[in-house]
Amino acid sequence: MTPTNSAEQALDEALALVSRVPEGGVGDRSGPAGGGGTGAHRATGWQRARDTAARAGSGVRPRTHRVPLAAALGEVLAAPLDALTDLPSFDTSAMDGWAVSGPGPWSVRAGGDVLAGSERPEPVTDGEAVRIATGARIPADATAVIRSEHCREAGAQLFADRPVLTGQDIRPRGQECRSGDLLLPAGSLVTPAVLGLAAAAGYDELTTRPRPRVEILVLGDELLTEGLPHEGLVRDALSPMLGPWIDRLGAEVIGTRRLGDDPAGAAALLEAVTTSTADVLVTTGGTAAGPVDHVHPVLREAGAELLVDGVAVRPGHPMLLARVETGTPEASAVRHVVGLPGNPLAAVSGLLTLAEPLLRALAGRRRRPRYTAPVQGDVPGHPYDTRLVPVLLSDEHAVPLRYHGPAMLRGVAAADALAVVPPKGARSGQELEILDLPWASGGCFT
């Protein structure tokens, strides 16, 4: 994609001129919360960071609960779904029409129509026909069902307009499954269709893995909750965005709080890191090394283990992932902290890089299949880092969008996905990995 205005040109030139230590370089910080050094640290490669987040979630001992069917939607089966009965549990009619016995023409039984949900019907005798509804129990000795549109009545007799095959339009008992058959394995996502299958199989409740609990902490003194930006203050774009986004990733947001950059804010952050009931804390801002960036110092004080401290991706490279153990050795609890940058598009990058694979693994959900699409136009790249660029998906191409700076949401608001641009960029027509945005890919039920 060729830049079409000076602002985009300046952004692309800045990306190309940035110099940083790529993964494998010198100056690595090690130890709890990156406390082993003061210089530049090695950024984790983008794909490696995603794999690390997924492994972190998979390593947590899963919780399970038993809930009514409706409450299980979007969760993952913690136990196999076995058939509790044959499906169907009796021979049923697949169509509205006539249950007949033997070859035609047939004598029409007066009255006594066989309806769905009615008691066991009277048997039909050879040469007899009785009207039957879809889903109704097949009378004993019936040999076929003739659809209403495939026959005609003449007086007290029924004539078929086409050949009648034995067993036609009868759903035999156990056609779909027999009692005890495995319908779905543990680990299957509970979709609306799964709820229907479970209900048909006789379930009132399901044993599932509950959604991971997430608490969002928005850091910063410069954020307004209403009105126009003014006098160095900006609107808080993250609080309205992160909760619904994380909800669409299949997690349960238990709260969103705003914390200041002062010592009181740092103390509140430490309390949350060490005592929150959430499985994951998502913070925004404060992940760099500025004078009011409290996330790293707080994580050190909490004894957290930094799993990812910076990712070789633009935007969003200061993101982090940490693991905190609380409680006693006999009853320990594991909590993860995902630190997102404060710039909006950089925060989106952190959501897709670290939060999504972590939350999917914590929920017991499989990782999304990876797929690619050819990009339309050349896309500039960074010398070392991956870039995530908002795109629209057409029938043939991924079309990059403008307004993709770290502080911009205009591009991603119009996008279907983000394209993964490798270091040094991509040529027009090159296949790029595509990260679907949750609202474009059907949310947590896909």
Write out pLDDT tens, residues 110-135: 878 899 988 888 999 999 999 999 99
Please determine, for residue 254, whether its predicted confidence score (pLDDT) is greater than 90: yes
Q: Are strands 76-77 and 205-209 parallel, antiparallel or unpaired?
A: antiparallel
For 362-373, letters b (16+ CB in 10 Å) and e give: bbbbeeeeeeeb
Q: Which pLDDT value is given to residue 119? A: 84
Q: Which pLDDT value is given to residue 441? A: 58
What's the CA gap between 177 and 63, in Å, rounded? 30
Q: Determine the Cα angle at 41 with ends 423 and 381, to 5°.
A: 15
Please determine, for residue 104, whether its predicted confidence score (pLDDT) is greater than 50: yes
What's the CA gap between 49 and 353, in Å, rounded? 7
pLDDT band at 218 (very low <50, low <70, confident <90, very high): confident
Distance, CA of 393 to chain centre: 19
Average pLDDT over residues 384-402: 93
Q: Let me know: does 359 contact 212? Beta carbons within 8 Å.
A: yes
Q: Let me know: does 288 contact 318? Beta carbons within 8 Å.
A: yes
Q: Which pLDDT value is given to residue 406? A: 81
Average pLDDT over the chain, rounded to an integer: 85
Please determine, for residue 77, whether its predicted confidence score (pLDDT) is greater than 80: yes
3-state helix, strand, coil in the chain (%, to 5): 25, 30, 50
What's the CA gap between 264 and 298, in Å, rounded? 12
Looking at per-residue pLDDT, the higher value among 246 and 6 belongs to: 246
Count of Cβ atoms closer than 10 Å to residue 115 Cβ: 14
Q: Let me know: does 268 contact 219? Beta carbons within 8 Å.
A: no
Q: Which pLDDT value is given to residue 334? A: 86
Tens-digit pLDDT profile for residues 132-191: 999 999 999 999 999 999 999 998 999 999 999 999 999 999 999 999 999 999 999 999
Q: Which pLDDT value is given to residue 272? A: 92
Q: Which pLDDT value is given to residue 327? A: 66
pLDDT band at 263 (very low <50, low <70, confident <90, very high): confident
Tens-digit pLDDT profile for residues 294-348: 889 999 999 999 999 999 999 999 999 999 987 655 555 889 999 999 888 999 9
Q: Which pLDDT value is given to residue 409? A: 78
Looking at per-residue pLDDT, the higher value among 298 and 38 belongs to: 298
Q: Which pLDDT value is given to residue 40? A: 46
Please determine, for residue 12, whether its predicted confidence score (pLDDT) is greater than 50: no
Please determine, for residue 34, whether its predicted confidence score (pLDDT) is greater than 60: no
Burial of 393 from C-beta contacts in 10 A (0-12 / 13-18 / 19+) = middle
Least confident range of 186-190, 248-252, 400-404: 400-404
Residue whose C-alpha is closest to residue 148's, from 127, 169, 124:
169
Q: Which pLDDT value is given to residue 111? A: 79
Q: Which pLDDT value is given to residue 224? A: 52
In this structure, which amino acid lies at residue 303?
G
In this structure, which amino acid lies at residue 123?
P
What's the CA gap between 171 and 81, in Å, rounded? 23
Grouping H, G, I as helix, E, B as strand and the rest as coil, residue 25 is coil
